[in-house]
Amino acid sequence: MKFLHNDLNPWLALMLRRRQRFLVGALLVWVTLLAGLALLGLSGWFIAACALAGIALAAGLPSSLDIYVPGGGIRFFALLRTVARYTERLYNHNTVLTLLADLRYRVFGDLTRLDDASLRRRRVGEWLSRLTSDIDALDSLYLRLLVPPVVALLSVWIVAGFIAIWLPLVGAVVACVLTLLWLVITLGFAKLGFANSHRQVDDQEELRRLVLDQVQASAELMSYRTSDWYHRKIRSHEQQALDNQRQLAVKAALGNALLMAVTGLLIIGVLWLGSLALAEQRVVGPIMVMGVIAVFGINEVLASLPAAFVRFGASHGAAQRLNALRATQEQTRVDSLPDGEGGHALQLREVMFRYPDAAGWAICQVSLTLPAGQRGAIMGISGSGKSTLANLIMGRISPTEGDVWVAEHAPSAVTLESSAAHMGYLPQQIDLFDGSLADNLRIAKPDATDEELWQVLAQVALSDWAKRQPRQLAAQVGERGQQLSGGQARRVALARLFLRSPSVVLLDEPFAGVDAATARHVAASLDAWLVGRTAIFFVHQVDDAALVPGLAHQWRLDGGKLIHDTSF
């Protein structure tokens, strides 16, 4: 039980921040259920009382019955149940949506704090599962595992206490039997279905991964004639998932069957004990009928619990996976880079880095020094380690061995706010969002004026193109910049970099995807903009020195090793 508490406690604490909303929602559920039980019991009493009064009158016996008070009560509880049900659905749906927003905000925040090495351990689809299926599983903590059992137990005790007013023994029996039943269908069935429900989420994620891999690697599978083998692998895993799901469904059905059997036997017991009390004239017939029907209505209160608790393992598994995000987060960032004119010096000392589960080193014993305000170029073929080295300098990953310093601070320990303010990076992979050109530029500077946007577009040779668009700055770039060419997308990202004022600038293939004339125009803009900043160009080869003017240092990276150092 302790490990369950430790795994679920962070998410329960997050939910309890809105405890007032949850208490109001639980109260509405409780009122709805009690109104239904009161309506059922009072209707049973009223029907029985009318029947007995009619029988007495038919037999010539004097009889009277006030139909207005119980009739008014029936109307009141019917209206209360309807209004409470509508209000509860409306209020709790809003609460659940708010809870989902809180959960996703928390998880997305955890994802943003992971370094690149941790993010690369899993596919994009697996991270998407953290934000969707795992959060949906945690959402059931409130909807199915917290409110319903608490409300059900309170309802059981209230019904038992109400019956005990006239029939103390019957009330005690109802309380004991239903409390024991509550424990069995909550704690008992949570344990019974724990392993199966835990495995069900893993099966769904694995099937999703296998199917996506099949689609993405269909050409390779056909080339190697392994498509049939892969299909069999998917079908085999699918059959295992179906078998596990069937076992889970059987256990949920067993819970429902147990609930119906126990409540059915309890109704017979209440009827028997009530008839004994009726024979001894300790209770009248309508009261006995009301008690029996009230116990019958308890079945509705408990009906949702077996299916919910038999899947408790899914919620626990989701909590474990989401907790692991925090366990693998990078170290706490506490440092800030100093403000001031000019760039910051860069220094690497015997830096080594290995990606998780990789056989060899991506970066091996790299040492370099770049004084503040100077420019350098690191050359190397694809796969030589340039992007990894750039990520080390930016602090996106931490070195396995050795030290990286930016202005005598480890970049992986610098706060994200300070890093964003003082360091700029143009990576190979460009992130543009489905919005307007202006919106994508203002990510770098939200208060930038239109004049500033046109200025940076001119610096990257995109202003003429933008002016030819019907909507100009409001032109849509499409999801991931699909409306732009690769070279245009890189220049939009570079223009976004121009809007900031970083002290350290890393440029990974800044001229990729552009023609020679455009490259020279962009190089001239970079030359003017980089004055006083510390900059490193990551390129395959410096074929045209005019594209990287002002270089003070030049290195070559091969297989993760810095094998050549030329200063000039």
pLDDT tens for 99-127 read: 888 888 777 777 777 666 666 666 666 67
Q: How far apart are CA 534 and CA 47, in angstroms?
A: 89
- Helix axis angle, 312-327 to 124-131, nearest 10°: 120
CB 222 within 8 A of CB 340: no
**346-567: in CATH 3.40.50.300:** yes
The string of pLDDT tens digits covering residues 482-493 is: 677 777 778 878
| pLDDT recorded at residue 177 | 93
Q: Where are the domains of the chain?
A: 18-327, 346-567
pTM of this structure: 0.66
Phi, psi at residue 543, to the nearest 5°? -85, -30
Between 343 and 296, the higher pLDDT residue = 296
| pLDDT recorded at residue 275 | 85
Q: State yes or no: pLDDT of 239 exceeds 80.
A: yes
| pLDDT recorded at residue 330 | 47
pLDDT-derived band at 23 (thresholds 50, 70, 90) equals confident
CB 397 within 8 A of CB 355: no
| pLDDT recorded at residue 122 | 67
Structure tokens at 256: 């429902």
Question: Domain 18-327 belongs to what architecture?
Answer: Up-down Bundle (1.20)
Q: State yes or no: pLDDT of 568 exceeds 70.
A: no
| pLDDT recorded at residue 257 | 92
CB 292 within 8 A of CB 274: yes
The string of pLDDT tens digits covering residues 50-81 is: 887 788 777 777 777 777 888 888 899 899 98
Strands 504-508 and 423-426: parallel
One-letter amino acid at 517 equals A
The string of pLDDT tens digits covering residues 506-539 is: 888 877 777 778 778 878 887 888 888 888 888 7
Q: How far apart are CA 412 and CA 407, in angstroms?
A: 13
Q: Is 402 exposed, middle or buried (0-12, 13-18, 19+ CB in 10 A)?
A: middle
The string of pLDDT tens digits covering residues 412-461 is: 777 777 777 778 888 877 777 777 878 888 877 778 788 878 888 888 77
Q: State yes or no: pLDDT of 197 exceeds 90.
A: no
One-letter amino acid at 285 equals G
Q: Which of 547, 550, 553 is nearest to 515 (CA)?
A: 547
pLDDT averaged over every residue in the chain: 80
Q: How far apart are CA 489 and CA 495, in angstroms?
A: 10
The string of pLDDT tens digits covering residues 538-558 is: 877 776 666 777 777 888 887
| pLDDT recorded at residue 121 | 65
